[in-house]
Amino acid sequence: MSKVLKFGGTSVGSAGNIRKVAEIVIAEKSTVTVLSAMSGTTNALVEIASRAEKDPKDPKLEELFSMIRGKYARCICELLEDREDALKRTAQTLDIIRTEVTGYGPKSEKIILAQGELLTSYIFTCYMKEAGQRAVLLHAPDFIRKDYEEKVDMTLCENKLRQLVTDPDTYYITQGFICSDSSGNTDNLGRGGSDYSAALVGGAINAAEVQVWTDIDGMHNNDPRFVENTYPIPRMSFDEAAELAYFGAKILHPATIQPCKDRGIPVFLKNTMDPDAEGTMISEAEDNSRIFHAVAAKDGITVIRIYSARMLMAYGFLRKVFEIFEHHRTPIDMITTSEVAVSLTIDSDCHLEEIVKDLEGLGKIEIEKNNTIVCLVGNLEHQQRGLAETIMKGINGVPLKMISYGASHRSIAMLVDTRHKREVLQSLNNSLFTQNRC
């Protein structure tokens, strides 16, 4: 039975944790193991790239280089008996980063950001070999490649991995997050993209399951960083998990679910620090044992309101609005309409100025920032009486700016001012989950 296991940055954040990861990989007989960079590495590399773009001689850069060198050297010295090659590889990695900093160009950021995963996966492969295992390091950009539309070429991924992953007695190790673009240059799948890497690999080799290992016991019913008395959800459907991931559940990258759903591959969310914990299984199966399953929150939401008398008894108006957002490659999260107004939300204001300028030709525009979407997921059947009343009571009087309900029977989304987020999450947890937990 083939398995793909993915481990996040905290899971490989120290020599001790890497040993735990190796034990899990061997116990689970992982076919392909996908690794993030050691915790803290990517943030440091992002800062290096940002500073290098502005000033390649920024004195802070040396401090960041020193931090990365020390972090990986300590790990190598604690983890490996034969350290020479790994220490040499660390020095080579820093040389690559320095070269990109000195001659910073359009491709430098992607190259710099890739180095954490490349170095971490190399060190882990060395440790597996020292532990007496047959381990092979694969280069993810060789088989995860974007096409001209920025979509991953699954046909290439499948064909390449069929050639590479051939021995059931070998542990194949690779990097999450990184890939190549349509021209073969180093690229990446975005922050949190290691989950997506694992799903792509799982789909490509038709794995029996994909396991995502982090430092929490599966998907919780609410955000434990802000809310007391949360609990892990043993089972949930692909659609529910996708909604929660998109609307802020940090344990899972939003894009992860689709490649596994397409092929019917279950995804398990597990805790590296407590491997025996049940965690969460995500599959096609529906859990109808309760109405409300979980809630998640997504910050950084901008509201755009369009007021126009031209909407009244007109057709084609919304098409013009959507075309503007399509032109600026900006997705819409929520939308509500009245006879003479449209309110919608976006989670990226990178092109906000241009969008507003184009929208002004359609009517009066209002912008409102610092909002949060709270998404409640469950069996929210439309014909069920009293559902809205129960949810509104759970909000506990907090002002709502928008509500989106009816697109599916799985979720309801509510927009609130971000300063009310913690209050809303805790109140919903108390009223919908804690009191009614079986």
Q: What is the pLDDT of residue 191?
A: 74
Beta strand spans in 227-314 (E): 235-237, 267-271, 280-283, 292-307
pLDDT given for residue 437 in this prediction: 54
Report how far residue 267's alpha carbon sits from residue 250's, in angstroms, rounded to the nearest whole number.
16
Let me know the angle formed at the C-alpha of 35 by 33 and 41, rounded to the nearest 5 degrees: 170
Question: In a structure prediction context, what are the per-residue pLDDT tens digits for the chain, which is 438 residues long?
Answer: 899 999 999 999 999 999 999 999 999 999 999 999 999 999 999 999 999 999 999 999 999 999 999 999 999 999 999 999 999 999 999 999 999 999 999 999 999 999 999 999 999 999 999 999 999 999 999 999 999 888 999 999 999 999 999 999 999 999 999 999 999 999 999 877 899 999 999 999 999 999 999 988 888 899 888 999 899 899 988 888 888 888 877 677 777 888 999 999 999 999 999 999 999 999 987 777 778 889 999 999 999 999 988 776 677 888 999 999 999 999 999 999 888 889 999 998 889 999 999 999 999 999 999 999 999 988 877 777 788 888 888 888 899 999 988 777 788 899 999 999 999 999 999 999 875 554
DSSP 142: G
CA angle, 277 then 267 then 207, to 5°? 120
* Sign of CA pseudo-dihedral 88, 90, 93, 95: negative
pLDDT at 436: 52
Tell me which residue has tokens 């894009």. 255
Compute, in degrees rounded to 10, the torsion defined by CA atoms 375, 376, 379, 382. -70
Check residue 234 and report its DSSP letter: S
E-strand ranges in 162-291 read 171-175, 178-180, 186-188, 209-214, 235-237, 267-271, 280-283
| DSSP of 310-323 | GGTT-SSHHHHHHH
The sign of the dihedral angle between the CA atoms of 295, 332, 251, 64 is negative
Bridge-based pairing state of the strands 209-214 and 186-188:
unpaired
Given this model, what pLDDT does residue 258 score? 86
The strands making up 235-237's β-sheet, listed across from edge to edge, are 135-137, 171-175, 32-35, 3-7, 209-214, 267-271, 280-283, 235-237
Q: Are 213 and 11 in contact (CB under 8 A)?
A: yes
What's the rounded Cα separation, in Å, for the pair 164 and 135? 12
Give the pLDDT of residue 313.
65
SS (H, E, C) 374-404: EEEEECCCCCCCCHHHHHHHHHCCCCCCEEE
> In degrees, to the nearest 5, what angle opens at C-alpha 34 toward C-alphas 11 and 252?
65
The CA distance from 81 to 58, in Å, is: 36
Amino acid letter at 79?
Answer: L
Specify the pLDDT at position 420: 95
Alpha carbon distance 420, 406 (integer Å): 24
| Cβ-based neighbours of 166, under 8 Å, separated by 6 or more | none
Residue 51: Cβ within 10 Å count: 18
Beta bridge mates, 110 = none
Any residues with CB less than 8 A from the CB of 137 and at least 6 apart, and which? 121, 122, 125, 173, 174
- The end-to-end CA distance of the chain, in Å, is 34
